Amino acid sequence: MRTHLKWPALLPVFTSFLFTCLSAPTIMAQAPEVFRLDGGRSTYAFGVNERGELQTLYWGASLGPRDKIPLAHSLPEWASFDSSYTNTPQEYSGWGGGLFTEPALKVAFADGNRDLVLHFVDANPNGPQSLEILLKDISREVYVRLRYSMDSETGILARSASIENREKQPILLEQVAAAQWTLPPARYLLSYLTGRWAGEWTLDQEPIHAGARVIESRRGSTGHQANPWFAISRDSSQEVVGPITADEEYGEVWFGALAWSGSWRITVEQTQLDSVRLTGGFNPFDFGYKLNPGERLETPLFYGGYSDHGLGGASRLLHHFELAQVLPHAPAPRPRPVIYNSWEATEFKVDEAGQMALAEKAASIGVDRFVMDDGWFGQRKDDHAGLGDWYVNPAKFPHGLKPLIDKVHALGMDFGLWVEPEMVNPDSDLYRKHPDWVLHFPGRPRSEQRNQIVLNLARNDVRDYVEAFLDKLLTENDIAFLKWDYNRNWSEPGWDQVPADEQRRVYVEFVRHLYAILADLRRKHPTIEIESCSGGGGRVDLGILRFTDEVWPSDNTDPFDRLTIQDGFTYAYTPQIMMAWVTDSPHWLDGRTTSLTYRMLSSMQGSLGIGANLNRWTAADFAAAKRLVAVYHAVQATIVHGNLYRLISPRNNSPFSSTETVSPEENQAVVFAFTHSTQEGRRFPLLQLQGLNPDAQYKLGWIEGKAEAGTPEVASGRWWMNHGLRLDLRGDFQAAAFRLDRQP
């Protein structure tokens, strides 16, 4: 039944990598039928067992280049209740043959058969770092091509699957994962990110117990409620080393992220035999992809990596990978311009004179980019009207956008504009003309949220309309940046233009069209930069980040709340993309009053922006902000491209928090520290820095604040890391920051 791998043809290719150094990615094959990928400090291996199934063999710290990995052998039956098939950890399991764990692929055939058992057919190297494995059902013409690609620097492995129907009849794909990952039986702690609007990026941690924990979005897009990222560490939750929990900087961590901006699901299960399986891909809820004869469905990428330096090490690997491999300008995306955004200052009340006045003030503090937010188009006075009508509102901008853009340029900034391309207000010319263009089920209500409905981007005509208006906007105006917003999730996801049995393709085609539009715009306008915003952090994932340069993590700009939001965000994503605005005090959400310095330092932990109403600022505010924007420009590259250490977490009502970023060359470190509210005279915890060169000398420079008496001005990396320093930082909502510069 099974076709054997043609080893003679493949061996020369594989063995040529056998003795390459460990930092270079390698694919090694051990006859018969063991595949091994090495990159960074990790090894991943799988093999073909005696039944012909592709079986996971190893995922973890690097093995020796000459080490032999034992051949794959299926696990035995456990009494008569758990078959060998369900016990054996497959790389990509079909639902069939008595599988009770989560399947990667579940298929319904035209004749009613729903049994799918995938066996190995052949393997092909696909470049030095990549491998393709072909699987096939034991009798039906359903093929699955698994793709593996290992990043040499980080050891992050990109996996995906392509499902092909070579049957004579259509088949229905009921459940399709991108990849499955397996860890051997042990006690593990699962970390994942959850939230809600204005409260994104909460790091949840819990022991993995028997059964399944599902993290998902059923919303049509990534969602605020959970993010497609996970980390699994050895369960050391009771151990605390100084201010840093044991799994932050120590211990083994396996992590992953799904590159998909539609409905997604990651299932983490501890199986009946105590191993841990992760399955992630399209969310099977309401899913059903009809695959006609000859058609293929490509899954998103599911990345996985390994760190032996705890969660901190895992996030540093991910940050590096995102900068070097994922972002549009990888491997060297430039630090983000410091922006001014008008939203919190003016909301929908934008006009030429008001925006020009704000632009002058923004330029005076050293802002690089002026962004006009919502309200400039159609009949947009509030959120009841205008979405879909992408012409410049003639009452607000009688001469179009050009005078404002010219003014912004004359002030030495570039210009950015807000759009929300996938939405329509029923009160718009577009909806009056094309009421059928929205997601809906005929004859059923069309639920509005924020008075808007989702355009069905899966339709070709809608896709063409959206791309055409954006192309026109960018062609006719000198726009450097688009803030691409998306302010609701789906309801009634009908697509009545296609046959009933193809309508659920909407979950895939909508997102594919979104990506295609972004790719086309970037090709036609190569200098454009784009932010992914979805009412804050509702669309942040490694899929959209291939096409967007930055994201808006949250509409919550309260600087104290932001400490936790930013802390959670950095577990999965680099500070380079983490836009952080300084806004007004008291804050509109929590009513909290904070100093401008505190607000500035909170935002300077990411990519700095200003979103305050500058019309209300005093001369002292302008002077303070101007100084800190200049300081930020000087150290920004370290903050956004360096190695991040979360020295003290703001989570769990901590009264303190601190982060440190060290430049990749270890020439500079930038440290931020915050107190929430000191009590009973407790001092700020000892700050023992990390990641410095132990033998280099570093000079301390204050950005804001001071240390306790006796702190040296120049000391070795060892001193700053081992002895450490104590800040003189007390009170409510106080902040300090300093830099260490390596001495020649």
Amino acid, single-letter form, for residue 496: D
Furthest CA-CA distance within the chain? 81
Residue with tokens 């702190």: 711
Site string for ligand DGJ, 660-699 (x = CB under 6 A): ----------------------------------------
Q: How far is CA 398 from the centre of its chain?
A: 40
Q: Active-site residue 485, yes or no?
A: yes
To ligand DGJ, the closest distance from the beta carbon of 557 in angstroms equals 9
Stretch that binds ligand DGJ, among 89-97, 224-232, 435-443, 532-540 (CB under 6 A): 532-540
Instruction: Please state, in angstroms and rounded to a whole number, the distance separating the CA atoms of residues 588 and 669.
Output: 33
To ligand DGJ, the closest distance from the beta carbon of 222 in angstroms equals 14
SS3 643: strand
To ligand DGJ, the closest distance from the beta carbon of 426 in angstroms equals 17
| 25 in contact with ligand DGJ (CB under 6 A) | no
Say if residue 92 is exposed, middle or buried (CB neighbours under 10 Å; 0-12, 13-18, 19+). Answer: buried
Please give the backbone phi and psi of residue 614, each rounded to the nearest 5 degrees, phi first.
-65, -15
Question: Choosing from 368, 485, 558, 561, which is the catalytic residue?
Answer: 485
Among 374, 531, 541, 660, binds ligand DGJ (CB under 6 A): 374
Contact 64, 50 (CB under 8 A): no
Among 555, 558, 660, 741, binds ligand DGJ (CB under 6 A): 555
Number of residues that bind ligand DGJ (CB under 6 A): 11
- Ranges within 190-229 binding ligand DGJ (CB under 6 A): none
Task: Find, among 294, 2, 298, the residue nearest to 122 by Cα.
Answer: 2
Per DSSP bridges, beta strands 188-194 and 118-125 are unpaired
| 533 in contact with ligand DGJ (CB under 6 A) | yes
Among 53, 102, 485, 531, binds ligand DGJ (CB under 6 A): 485
To ligand DGJ, the closest distance from the beta carbon of 383 in angstroms equals 7
Nearer to ligand DGJ by Cβ, of 493 and 536: the residue is 536
Contacts of 202 (CB under 8 A, 6+ apart): 193, 194, 195, 564, 568
Q: Active-site residue 541, yes or no?
A: no
- Residue 210: strand pairing partners: 270
Instruction: Please state, in angstroms and rounded to a whole number, the distance separating the CA atoms of residues 106 and 123.
Output: 23
To ligand DGJ, the closest distance from the beta carbon of 336 in angstroms equals 16
Q: How many CB atoms sit inside 10 A of residue 15's CB?
A: 14
Instruction: Please state, in angstroms and rounded to a whole number, the distance separating the CA atoms of residues 200 and 223.
Output: 10
Nearer to ligand DGJ by Cβ, of 540 and 689: the residue is 540
Among 370, 390, 431, 552, binds ligand DGJ (CB under 6 A): 552
Among 53, 167, 249, 373, binds ligand DGJ (CB under 6 A): 373
- Ranges within 418-477 binding ligand DGJ (CB under 6 A): 418
Nearer to ligand DGJ by Cβ, of 216 and 485: the residue is 485
Q: How many CB atoms sit inside 10 A of residue 489's CB?
A: 21
Contact 637, 670 (CB under 8 A): no
Instruction: Please state, in angstroms and rounded to a whole number, the distance separating the CA atoms of residues 712 and 18.
Output: 50
Question: What's the helix, strand, coil split of the chain in %, to 5?
Answer: 25, 35, 45
Nearer to ligand DGJ by Cβ, of 550 and 555: the residue is 555
To ligand DGJ, the closest distance from the beta carbon of 679 in angstroms equals 35
Q: Where are the alpha helices (DSSP H) in 374-505?
A: 402-410, 429-433, 460-476
- Residue 190: strand pairing partners: 206, 232
Stretch that binds ligand DGJ, among 392-400, 506-514, 531-539, 718-726 (CB under 6 A): 531-539
Question: Choosing from 235, 549, 555, 741, which is the catalytic residue?
Answer: 555
| 416 in contact with ligand DGJ (CB under 6 A) | no
To ligand DGJ, the closest distance from the beta carbon of 740 in angstroms equals 35
Instruction: Please state, in angstroms and rounded to a whole number, the distance separating the CA atoms of residues 169 and 177.
Output: 22
To ligand DGJ, the closest distance from the beta carbon of 431 in angstroms equals 18
Stretch that binds ligand DGJ, among 178-186, 529-537, 629-637, 678-686 (CB under 6 A): 529-537
Instruction: Please state, in angstroms and rounded to a whole number, the distance separating the CA atoms of residues 547 and 551.
Output: 11
Say if residue 394 is exposed, middle or buried (CB neighbours under 10 Å; 0-12, 13-18, 19+). Answer: exposed
Nearer to ligand DGJ by Cβ, of 119 and 224: the residue is 224
Residue nearest to ligand DGJ (CB): 374
To ligand DGJ, the closest distance from the beta carbon of 607 in angstroms equals 15
Among 220, 536, 543, 642, binds ligand DGJ (CB under 6 A): 536
Active site members: 485, 555
Binding interface with ligand DGJ (CB under 6 A): 343, 373-374, 418, 485, 487, 533, 535-536, 552, 555
